[in-house]
Amino acid sequence: MKLLTDLKVAIFADGADIDGILEMHRNPLIKGFTTNPTLMRKAGVEDYAGFAHNLLRAISDRPISFEVFADDFDEMELQAREIASWGSNVNVKIPVTNTKGVSAGPLIRRLAREGLRMNVTALMTLQQVKTVAECLADSPSSYISVFAGRVADTGRDPVPMMAEAVAFLAAFPNLKLLWASPRELLNIFQADAIGCHVITATNDVLKKLGIVGKSLEKYSLETVQMFYSDAQKAGYKLVSRSAVLA
């Protein structure tokens, strides 16, 4: 298997816990960062802009994406311009549609022509990739985030679709395909194998980077030891039926 240092896919950290983000920032394997309103709410973030500015004071050397949270496209546009002003390493996350299912395409196209760097998010179909790519054609470097992990949650294999998306985006050198919502570390190697440009993962997935290539025999033994240790700590006991009858 490939060494982590041989991977071509860029690994981004996805989260909203400041300490966890800074921990990943110290890891040279992590090439960028993403977050979203759901992760921020889960982490207890109350001041959206304050959180972002604190993060940007600590991280100025790698790309980071912050998402708009309006549903009205006019308000979404105002938020996008504000977020874009926060730093030269900021990509503005725009959802592929609003909550009513109306395409954000016209807004994406307009912002692209104004030079905003974006990260269009929550895509799950190849057709969405094609439509968004056309809208981003005039943008500077931008990302198209396909939630491959959620696709897999529906029982569909996302790898063929992601491979097709990589091939399609070859005609758009300014755009990078981002594999979002991975469920396991293996997805990083799958993304690399098909030539996906970026994969973003939460800290619980990224913390497994340390066991990449680990001896499976050793891992098996450690698993057995863990089961035994936990049973001992719990004080579990069984009295056999034969012992009772005796």
* Residue 152 forms part of a structural domain: yes
* Residue 17 forms part of a structural domain: yes
Radius of gyration of the chain (CA): 22
Query: Looking at the whole model, is its pTM more than 0.85?
Result: yes
* Residue 224 forms part of a structural domain: no
Q: Which of 31, 93, 176, 237 is catalytic?
A: 93
Identify the pLDDT of residue 241: 75
Sequence-distant contacts of 151-158: CB under 8 A, at least 24 apart: 151/124, 152/183, 153/183
| Residue 182 φ/ψ, nearest 5 degrees | -65, 145
Active site residue 100: no
Identify the pLDDT of residue 245: 62
* Residue 40 forms part of a structural domain: yes
Q: What is the three-class DSSP state of 37? A: helix
* Residue 219 forms part of a structural domain: no
Q: Rounded distance, CA 44 to CA 167, Å? A: 39
Q: Rounded distance, CA 74 to CA 77, Å? A: 5
Identify the pLDDT of residue 174: 97
Which tokens belong to 141?
Answer: 């470097």
Q: What is the three-class DSSP state of 246? A: coil
* Residue 19 forms part of a structural domain: yes
Identify the pLDDT of residue 243: 64
CATH number for 124: 3.20.20.70
* Residue 75 forms part of a structural domain: yes
Identify the pLDDT of residue 244: 60
In the chain, the number of structural domains is 1
67 bridge partner residues? 93
* Residue 243 forms part of a structural domain: no
Domain that holds residue 201: 4-213
What are the pLDDT tens digits along the chain (246 aa)?
788 889 999 999 999 999 999 999 999 999 999 999 999 999 999 999 999 999 999 999 999 999 999 999 999 999 999 999 999 999 999 999 999 999 999 999 999 999 999 999 999 999 999 999 999 999 999 999 999 999 999 999 999 999 999 999 999 999 999 999 999 999 999 999 999 999 999 999 999 999 999 999 999 999 999 999 999 999 999 988 776 666
Which tokens belong to 35?
Answer: 């977050």
| 222 C-beta neighbours (distance < 10 Å), count | 13
Identify the pLDDT of residue 1: 75
